[in-house]
Copies of this chain bind each other. A is one copy, B any other.
Amino acid sequence: MNTIMIYLPIAMAFIGLAFMFTKRAWVLKQDPGDGKMKEISDYIYEGALAFLNAEYRLLTFFVIGASIVLAGISFIVPTTHILIVVAFVFGAFFSALAGNMGMKIATKTNVRTTQAARTSLPQALKVSFGGGTVMGLGVAGLAVLGLTTFFIFFFHFFMNGVWTSTEDMTIVLETLAGFSLGAESIALFARVGGGIYTKAADVGADLVGKVEAGIPEDDPRNPATIADNVGDNVGDVAGMGADLFGSYVATVLAAMVLGNYVIKDMGGNIQDAFGGIGPILLPMAIAGFGILFSIIGTMLVKITDDNAKEAQVQKALNIGNWVSILLTAVACFFLVQYMLPETMKMDFFGEGTKEISSMRVFYATIVGLVVGAVISSVTEYYTGLGTKPVMAIVQKSSTGAGTNVIAGLATGMISTFPTVLLFAAAIWISYALAGFYGVALAASAMMATTAMQLAIDAFGPISDNAGGIAEMSELPKEVRTRTDILDSVGNTTAATGKGFAIASAALTSLALFAAYVTFTGIDGINIFKAPVLAMLFVGGMIPVVFSALAMNSVGKAAMDMVYEVRRQFREIPGIMEGTGKPEYAKCVDISTKAALREMMLPGILTIGFPIAIVLLGKLVYADNNQLIAEMLGGYMAGVTVSGVLWAVFQNNAGGAWDNAKKSFEAGVMINGEMTYKGSDAHKAAVTGDTVGDPFKDTSGPSMNILIKLTCLIGLVIAPILGNGSHTISDKAACCASTEICTSMSKEECMANGCVSKTCKFMDAAAMPNHMMSKEVSIEKTNVDGKVKATIKTTINGKENIQSFEGTDAEVQAKIDSLK
């Protein structure tokens, strides 16, 4: 039984990958069109590949550097195993692979979509969504495959494939966290680098091409137009793929970690049909089934009417999406019933241990699914074409760019109201239902249909590219009309996809945060301690500064692009007449270099700050790891809260500006007058959109990686901050709590056979709390103002009795120091 449920997710991952390869073969078989189209498509493919290769070359150094640091940590910290480095490298590699695969299929699908759009809209949707499906299933399949394989490997390596103790499983999952860390690190750079690339090219191309030279978008005479189309692929496809790959892995991992603590709360041992690790396997099982249901969902996305409009296309996508979500809900019901003990004991911090029925875990998954759906509606309300907030921005455009910008900013800011209330309710309810395990499973359920979500997300930029190719190849107008319908739907799904991404990131971060608190063994995170509060402030500031850096980077990179395009217009003879050939590669090169250069500082900020806090903490509170752990926890909370706010603010403001501008294409009624493209109001709306571009495509979407990566770094640092400051015995102790070897010399310990694979020799002083079975009983008597206390400490079965006398405060201080 055990073996089936543990290997099942791998099987499902293989099914997903097999379906992906079939779909891929089908897409590649489609007609890529004639000479000009193919030529342009090849330019885009090569530009995107050049960027990814350059990016990966650079990131190889980062991975090597980070691996050395991790290896160092694993040598110093007894509970961190060197295998974390292997997991990290593979996580990074899989993430890069997922991005690369997605990007390749997207750049092959774009031209085929253009060609399909020459025949009919249904065919164009089929091809473009086919490309999206390949991307989605590739990412999800690789994520489940990698995570499950490494889990099984570590489970066998550290525990011989049988449950021993929560402590051993903690080491398995700590090591597995390396996989997630690797994935999320690459995601950060891919998202930020891709975001800078795409907006630098976009803004640069528009400023000189559209505004200065007065040529339309995607005009082949514009040297930056290829870079612009490459940007769609490296930003919206490869960046998004790496992002969701990281989210997916982090979410499942966090749920597994908390599943382990459910087992701990139940006495460290449960009897079930899954070798006693049902709560740990559940999130993986849900992820596995999610792949199957995503496949079913993607098969339902189709339209038949060649005269279909945006609404029908959107409806087709919605049907597929809803079916996969509903199937997931049903599967959660059966999986929870099947895999979890009927009643479970859970420790609710500050409220004691409660007995809860496993059904409450199912309800928590429903909370996650509902939040995922509602957040999409909320996002659509604030950013969709024709909605009240967007129309208000349109109206404000009539009095100039200033009022348009104010209205857009205010819309983004107001949109945090329902969103944050929704998140707060979700956190509270799913926690009330099943503790932080409930929060983590809410996130897992939400992320289960990642493959479907990503298919929906990825078809947008593919269609956008298809339209660009149609324009550049000067194809008949109806081709562009068809791709425009797909592109327009893609814009909406892009906005809702960002809402979905931040919702899942918020829940995942909280789950990681909970795992962090449990790993470090601290007594919660108390912001009434000034250093912790100070770090909450610092954490809150990071997303703001990160966003500013990303925005400035876009500005700088766009300027480089502007100068290059101006130079080509000036120096290449006949370029405006179409007789001179623009040097596309130069522009691609500029975007590439700028993106790689500019992604470094935000990356360093994200990774450097948590480490700096720990170092500063060690400097000031050398003997108080617990306080340092709380400080880092405060920092994590600050980053999460502020990051969520700024993500919602920036994504929605950007989305609203974009659609306010788009509204002018069909014409809008302002003060009783129909107003169109080219009017002053439209120009004001274009300004708003320029501001919104880096918001929604660079800094905004980076927020969710920022918060997840921060929490993951915390999790990996956690063992260092385990409460090793306690000096209970000066003898060597063995770390496996199930084996009573404490207060023995190293030799005695070895003679007793206390050494296991998960265990290194260490001083008891350096032994983290969760590795010790420790009991403290205190007797305190108070006679005539003199207080006497007897403290019996039992560590791993070995007793130690101490007595004190003194004033109440003195005795209490002594007791506190021993706790």
Task: Name A residues whose Cβ lies closer than 8 Å to a Cβ of B.
Answer: 207, 211, 349-353, 396, 399-403, 405-407, 409-411, 413-414, 416-417, 420-421, 423-425, 427-428, 431-432, 436, 439, 510, 513-514, 517, 524-531, 533-538, 540-541, 544-545, 547-549, 551-552, 554-555, 558-559, 562, 627, 633-634, 637-638, 641-642, 644-645, 649, 686-691, 694, 775, 777-782, 809, 813, 816
Q: Is the CB of B207 within 8 A of A399?
A: yes
Known: A524-B528, A649-B544. A538 touches B421 (CB 8 A): yes
Q: How far is the CA of A642 from the CA of B554 in the complex (A)?
A: 26
Q: Which of B432, B531, B534, B642 contacts A645 (CB 8 A)?
A: B642
**Shortest Cβ-Cβ A-B pairs, 6 listed:** A402-B690, A431-B530, A413-B548, A524-B528, A420-B541, A524-B526
Bound together, the chains give a CA A268 to CA B560 distance in angstroms of 68
23 example contacts (A-B, Cβ-Cβ < 8 A) are as follows A349-B529, A353-B813, A399-B562, A402-B688, A405-B687, A405-B690, A407-B552, A410-B552, A410-B555, A413-B544, A414-B545, A420-B538, A421-B538, A427-B534, A428-B531, A428-B534, A513-B528, A524-B527, A525-B527, A537-B641, A540-B642, A540-B645, A641-B641
In the complex, chain B residues whose CB is within 8 Å of the CB of A401: 401-402, 405, 687
- Please give, as numbers and ranges, the residues of chain B lying within 8 Å of A627 by CB-CB distance: 350-351
**Beyond the given A405-B690, A409-B551, A420-B537, could you list 19 further A-B residue pairs with CB under 8 A, ordered by the A residue number?**
A401-B405, A401-B687, A402-B688, A405-B691, A407-B552, A410-B548, A410-B555, A413-B545, A420-B540, A421-B538, A424-B535, A424-B537, A428-B531, A528-B633, A536-B637, A537-B641, A544-B645, A642-B645, A687-B687
Write out the residue numbers on chain B whose beta carbons fall within 8 Å of the beta carbon of A558: 403
Cross-chain contact A526 with B402 (CB below 8 angstroms): no
- Alpha-carbon distance A207/B207, docked complex (angstroms): 27
Indicate whether A541 sits within 8 Å of B645 (C-beta atoms), given known contacts A410-B552, A530-B427, A552-B410: yes
Total identical chains? 2
A431 CA / B544 CA spacing, docked (Å) = 26
**In the bound complex, what is the Cα–Cα distance between A782 and B555 (angstroms)?**
69
CA distance A645 to B639 in the complex (A): 12
A548 to chain B, nearest CB (A): 4
Q: Say which residue of B396, B530, B641 sits within 8 Å of A638 (CB atoms).
A: B641
B528 touching A409, Cβ below 8 Å: no
What are the residues of chain B within 8 A of A559 when measuring CB–CB?
A: 399
Contact present for A694 and B781 (CB under 8 Å) = no
Q: Name the residue on B nearest A808 (C-beta).
A: B775
Contact yes or no, A526 B529, CB < 8 A: no
What residue of chain B has the Cβ atom nearest to residue A413's Cβ? B548
Measured CB to CB, the closest approach of chain B to A429, in angstroms, equals 9
Rounded to whole angstroms, the CA-CA distance of A331 and B422 in the bound complex is: 51
B642 lies within 8 A of A407 (CB): no
Nearest CB of chain B from residue A389's CB, rounded to whole Å: 11
Q: A432-B530, A528-B524 are in contact. Are A538 and B207 (CB under 8 A)?
A: no
A541 near B417 with CB under 8 A, answer yes
Whether A414 touches B638, Cβ cut-off 8 Å, given contacts A436-B530, A690-B400, A691-B402, is: no
A406 neighbours in B (Cβ, 8 Å): 551, 554-555, 690-691, 694
A534 to B649, CA, bound (A): 18
Contact B536 A410, beta carbon cutoff 8 Å: no
Check B524–A517 contact: CB distance below 8 A.
Answer: no
Are A534 and B425 interface neighbours, CB within 8 A?
Answer: yes
Residue ID in chain B nearest A531 by CB atoms: B428
* Contact status B551-A410, CB under 8 Å: yes
**Residues on B with beta carbons closer than 8 Å to the beta carbon of A420:** 537-538, 540-541
**Which of chain B's residues have a CB closer than 8 A to the CB of A350?**
526, 529, 627
Contacting residues, chain B, for A421 (C-beta < 8 A): 538, 541
A419: nearest chain-B partner, CB-CB: B541
Min CB–CB distance A817 → chain B (angstroms)? 8
Residues of chain B with a CB closer than 8 A to A432's CB: 530-531
B-chain residues with CB within 8 Å of residue A634 when the two chains form the complex? 527
Bound-state CA distance A230–B809 (Å) is 61
Residues of B within 8 A of A513 (CB): 528
A84 to chain B, nearest CB (A): 25
Closest to A813 in B: B352
Contact A555 B431 (CB under 8 A): no
Query: Once bound together, how far apart are the Cα atoms of A537 and B510, in whole Å?
Result: 11
Shortest distance between the CB of A145 and any CB in chain B (Å)? 32
**B527 with A527: CB separation less than 8 A:** yes
What separation, in Å, do the CA atoms of A223 and B530 have in the docked complex?
53
Inter-chain CA distance A352–B638, complex, in Å, is 26
Q: Which of B211, B545, B780 contacts A417 (CB 8 A)?
A: B545
Provide the residues of chain B in CB contact with A780, threshold 8 Å. 777-779
Q: Which of B431, B533, B777 sits near A427, CB closer than 8 Å?
A: B533
Given the complex of chains A and B, what is the CA–CA distance between A439 and B528 in angstroms? 13
Residues of the B chain whose Cβ atoms lie less than 8 Å from the Cβ of A439: 530
CB pair B544–A416 under 8 Å, yes or no, is yes
Kindly state the separation between the CA atoms of A276 and B517 in the bound complex, as whole angstroms.
Answer: 43
A420-B540, A527-B527, A555-B410 known; A641+B642 contact, CB < 8 A? yes
Taking a contact as CB atoms closer than 8 A, the residue among B424, B524, B544 that contacts A529 in the complex is: B524
Contact yes or no, B644 A537, CB < 8 A: yes
State whether B424 touches A816 (Cβ < 8 A): no
Q: Which has the most chain B C-beta neighbours within 10 Å: A400, A405, A527?
A: A527
A637 B527 Cβ-Cβ under 8 A: yes
Q: Which of B533, B537, B555, B644 contacts A407 (CB 8 A)?
A: B555
A525: chain B residues within 8 A (beta carbon) = 526-528
A531 neighbours in B (Cβ, 8 Å): 428, 431-432
Task: Say whether A537 contacts B642, CB under 8 Å.
Answer: no
Chain B residue contacts of A816, Cβ below 8 A: 352
How far in angstroms is the closest Cβ of chain B from A710? 15
The residues of B that contact A436 with a CB separation of less than 8 Å are 530
Residue pair B405, A530 in contact (C-beta under 8 Å): no
- Quote the shortest CB–CB distance from A651 to chain B (angstroms): 14
CB distance from A217 to the nearest CB of B (A): 16
Residue from A428, A554, A633, A690 with most neighbouring chain B CB atoms (10 Å) = A428
CA separation between A149 and B477, bound complex, in Å?
A: 81
**In the complex, which residues of chain B have a beta carbon less than 8 angstroms from the beta carbon of A642?**
540, 641-642, 645
Min distance, Cβ A525 to any Cβ of chain B, angstroms: 5
